[in-house]
Every structure is written in structure tokens, then in C-alpha cells.
Structure 1
Amino acid sequence: MTHAARDYARGSLAAMALGAALISTSAVFVKWVGIGPTASAFWRMGLASVLLLAWFVRPKVRAGWKPDARVLGLLAVAALFFAVDLWMWHRSILYVGVGLGTLLGNFQVFALAGYGAFVLGERGGWRLWVGLLLALFGLALLLAPGWEGFDARFRTGIAFGLGTAVAYAGFLIFFRAAQGQRAEVANEALLWWMCVFSAALLLAMTLAGGESLSPRGPRDWSALLAYALIAQVFGWLVIGRVMPKLPAGVLGLCLLLQPLLSYVWDALLFGTRLGPVEMLGLALSLAGIFLGLVRGQRKPAETAMDAAA
């Protein structure tokens, strides 16, 4: 490999790590805002749809901004899954914490593999099954030390976190289908449509749930704007641009930064601490998720799309 090629590879690796680190901050902003969990999800998608308009100044994006009816339909279904995903994930974050809520969402790699196995007839290979067992055993170790003392709210948060994994897998299935049929439509345009559809659904869900839509002053506005810009816009666009340039194994390791860093933010900002057994559980869960991400030597693009919400 030439010096220029090595520098290019290092640059791609650094960009991928940056994208995963950006997305890892998502749950922090959810904890910081003072409005309800559905309302904060609406603002994430609503503000992101406005911010993404900046990409329409590019001729390629502007020329291919409107997909055909079939692709729009797939994006609408993907947006429905993503809205449900955020509805559950935000509650999981508030109920069980930043780190555990993010880790549970990353279990979507196994929900997606289950769809591939039972619907598409795909073989997961040994990595999938070993990864699933490791992840479940690690989760059990994370929860076992305090399970008897957890209240109903915490246990509901666990259920919401696992539900997030299933909903995010549904989003990936339909969003990838839309990408496969997008023709000349730019990926940025697909992301914009998905944000618009999701924001509309989350607006209806917020109003139906009786939550207030109004952020409580500059602190809330700053957190919501950062949430939309850092997690939804920059994080997704950086990962989407770099993911075809790196092998699946490297991408899988980079993407593990998201749940790992979420525990770092949880400890630094919210005082969450893990004991030795819980640390072992976290390590085993991350190892299992890594094996799930790289199951069957899948394409790098598919691996990178498996980043959690």
C-alpha cells in the first residue's frame, strides 16, 4: 500500500470513528431536554428536515430530490418504523439510562438477522449464533446484580429498549429497499423525505399523547438543535459517505464506539457506575453485537447501516 493510500484509509477510519462518536451523543440530548420524550423525537426529525435543506444547494441533490411513488411509499413505511423506534427509545433512555438504553437499541442487529433467516431464508453463520448468545449472556450479567431492586418503570424501560431494536430493524429493511430502488435520487434526498415523514408522524403522536411541544427556553432549544444537527444530520451523513470505503470488520469495531461511548457519557455526565460483573456483561454484549454486525462477511454498506438510532 502506498503512503497516499495509507493516509486515505486512515482518513476514512477517522471519519467513521467520528460518525460513531457523534451518534453516541444522541441519548445525552434526550436526557438533557425538559420536554416529553415524543416531543423531543419530533424536534429531532423536524429540525433535521430543515437543516438537510442545506444539501439541496448541490445540483445532484436538487436534480434528484423527488423519488417515484413506490420509493416514497417505502420511505413512508420506513418513517413509521423510525417514529415508533424513537417513541420507545426515548422512553427507554429516561427509564434505564443513557448507556443501557443505547446498548439495548443495538440489539437490532439480531432482529435484522432474524428477519433475514425467517423471511429471506438467509444463513446467519456461526458468528450470528455465538454473537447472540454472548450478547444475551452479557445483558443478563448487566441486569442480574440489581434485578430484584428494579422498579416497574425500569423493567418497562428494558422492554422499550428491546422494542426499539425490533422497530429499528423494520426501519432498516424498508429504508434499504428504498435505497435499492432510488434510481437517480440522491441519498441526502431520501434522508430528507424520511425525516419529513417521521416528523409528521411524531407530531401527531405528541399531540395525541398530550405532551407539550414547546421547548423550555434556550437550554432546550440548544440541546434539540444539537441533537438534530449532530446525531441525525452529521452523524448519518458522515457514516453514509465513509462506509463503502472500509471493510465490514473495521466498520463493526467503529460502530461499537456508539454503545461504548454512551456508557462513558452516562458515567461522566449522569454519574452512572458499573461494578465488575456489569463491566464483564457490557464487554460480552459488545463482543456479541460485533459478531452480529459482521455476520456472514456482509457488505460494508449494510454493516454501517446497522448503527443504532
Structure 2
Amino acid sequence: MRDDGSGVTHMAAPRGPLLAMLLGAVLISTSAVFVKWVHIGPTASAFWRMALAAGMLVPFVVVAVRRGGGAWKPTPRVLALVAIAAAFFSLDLWMWHRSILYVGVGMATLLGNFQVFALASYGAWVLGERGGWHLWVGLLLALGGLALMLVPGWEGFDARFHAGVGFGLGTAAAYAGFLIAFRKAQATRGTAPNETLLLWMSAITALLLLPMVLVGGEALPPQGGADWGALVAYAFIAQVCGWLVIGRAMPRLSAGVLGLCLLLQPLLAYVWDMLLFGTRLDGLGWIGLALSLIGIFLGLTRRA
């Protein structure tokens, strides 16, 4: 609690969870950078992200099980939900990695964050939820901002870029499916620690991605030490640290604070894109990016 001097008391975000959430947003904002850096196919890099992360999560699960007395293996029902989440996440990574290579780090990350509106659509059509004015205004702003960034130069973009935009929007839909299934698994996990669910999800996703790599004709082994370093960093920073930090901080923050923190991911992705890969936005592009971020924020905070 804090007093701003006017006699009105406000709720302040807990400093520890807030700092953790900000750190988590910074960590996951680097995800697309590693995909651009490696010299293997997009599905192969997705496979290594999940396979390496599964191995890295083992000690975290050991500590969590010993500390809380939970189980290594969740119940069959929870494991089925995790498997469904993994199926969606494998599709998510398959499309998102291609979007990163086709349209760039910033745009691919921004498009993926449209999952907010895919989740809201599920809530409205399946659960009968009402989004309120926040949702609809946010959707219009986000779409309007995206149009400002894409429409003026659309005819000048090649077919690869057009496909990348489609993959980015497909990512948003697949990621929403993943979140729905994984949140349900988290809500019904019983004594199984959250680290256990992350381990199983990572392992199953890797198993689903492996045949996709082979069928797609991509080379699986990384090409040298630089690729191995980037993939290990990708798995540890984005999948392990990012998910563990954010997962622990989210329940202790309000929707508004959470929304602002999560907006760091697409915003910082554009920063990394500009600093590392030379991407530039014109004046109209910056306005479009700002409108899209405001719209996503309204979508994130549509419910208290």
C-alpha cells in the first residue's frame, strides 16, 4: 500500500515479483534473436530448444520434488493436458521460427502476441465470457497499428514475407491453444510441481518436433560450436529461466502490471532487431507499433 499525498491509498505491485516479471520479459524477448543466429533449419532449432531445455529442467524438478514432496509424473489426466499443450506448442514453434526468418525478429514477436485476441475469442465463443470495451478497442487498435506497419509496403514485399505474416498470425492461434491446455494442466496438477509440468511439456514437444525435422529434410546436428552455444543459450534463457521466473511471478501481480511487463517482450524484440540485424521503422511504422502495443495491453487487461 502507498499514499500519494492526496489522502488516497493505492495498491503497489510487490517489488520482488515485479522485478522478477520484468526480468522474465527481458529473457523471453531474446528468443527470436537466437533463432536468427543459428545456421540450422527453423524446425531443427525448435527441436533443440525443447530437447536441451528438458535436460536442463531435470535438476529443477529434483529440487522441487524433494522440497515439496510432489511427484515426478503427473496424473494421467494432467499428463494428457500437457500432451495437448505440447502438440499446440510444437505447431507454435514450427510456425514462429519460420515467421522470424521471413519477417524479422520484431514483427514475428509482435504477431505472436496477438494470441491475446485468440484467447479472448475462445473465452467468448466457448466459455461465454464478455470481453468488455477493453477487448474490442484493443483489437481495433492492434489491427489498425498492424495495418499501418504492413499495408503501405505490402505490394513491395515478396511472397516469403507474406507467408511470414501468415505464419506469425498462425503462431498466435497455436500459442493460445497451448496456453489454454497448459493452464488447465497447471490448475489441476495436484501435488506435481510446476517444474514437472514444464519438463514433461518440453520433452513431449521435442518428441513431436523430431519427426517434423526429419520429414522436412532439415539437417538436425548444429553446425559447430557457435550454433551449439546459441542453442544452449536459447534453451536456458528463454525456455528454462524465462518460464520459471515468469511462472512464479505472474500470480502475485495485477492484470495491469502484468500487461505492462509482458509488453516488454515485443518492444524489446524490436530493439534487438534494430541493434543486431539493422531493421528500421519509419514514422508510420513507429505509430503502428505503438498502436499495436496499446491494443495488446488493453487485451491483456480486459479482465481484473
TM-score by length of 2: 0.94
What 5-or-longer segments of structure 2 have no aligned partner?
A: 3-10
Match of 1:43 among 44, 48, 55: 48
The 8 Å contact of residues 106 and 259 in structure 1, kept in 2 or not, is answered as yes
- Answer yes or no: is 1:20 the counterpart of 2:25: yes
Counterpart CA distance in 1 for 2:21 and 2:141 is 25
Counterpart CA distance in 1 for 2:53 and 2:248 is 18
Amino acid at match of 1:24: S
Match of 2:162 among 155, 162, 168: 155
Q: How far is 1:43 from its partner?
A: 0.2
The 8 Å contact of residues 60 and 186 in structure 1, kept in 2 or not, is answered as no
The 8 Å contact of residues 56 and 62 in structure 1, kept in 2 or not, is answered as no
CA offsets 1:157-204 (integer angstroms, 9 cap, x no match) = 000000000000000111111112111110000010000100000011
TM-score by length of 1: 0.93
Counterpart CA distance in 1 for 2:217 and 2:180 is 31
Alignment of 1:264-279 (within 5 A): 264-279=271-286
Amino acid at match of 2:147: A
Counterpart CA distance in 2 for 1:33 and 1:205 is 18
Match of 1:206? 213
Counterpart CA distance in 2 for 1:130 and 1:136 is 10
Counterpart CA distance in 2 for 1:279 and 1:11 is 32
What 5-or-longer segments of structure 1 have no aligned partner?
A: 298-309
Match of 1:249? 256
Match of 2:14? 9
- Answer yes or no: is 1:183 the counterpart of 2:190: yes
Match of 1:300? none
* Distance change >3 Å, CA 61–CA 226, structure 1 → 2: farther
Aligned length: 294
Counterpart CA distance in 1 for 2:248 and 2:185 is 17
Match of 2:6? none
CA offsets 1:177-235 (integer angstroms, 9 cap, x no match) = 11121111100000100001000000111011111111000100000000000000000
Q: How far is 1:296 from its partner?
A: 2.0
Match of 2:81? 74
Identity %: 70
Amino acid at match of 1:68: T
Amino acid at match of 2:29: S
Amino acid at match of 1:270: F
CA offsets 1:104-130 (integer angstroms, 9 cap, x no match) = 000000001000000111111110000
Quick check: 236-245 or 31-40, which moved more?
A: 236-245
Alignment of 1:7-156 (within 5 A): 9-58=14-63, 59-60=66-67, 63-156=70-163
- Answer yes or no: is 1:169 the counterpart of 2:186: no
Amino acid at match of 1:78: A
Extract structure 1 runs of 4+ deviating beyond 4 A.
none
CA RMSD of aligned residues (A): 1.4
* Distance change >3 Å, CA 100–CA 50, structure 1 → 2: same
Counterpart CA distance in 2 for 1:120 and 1:74 is 18
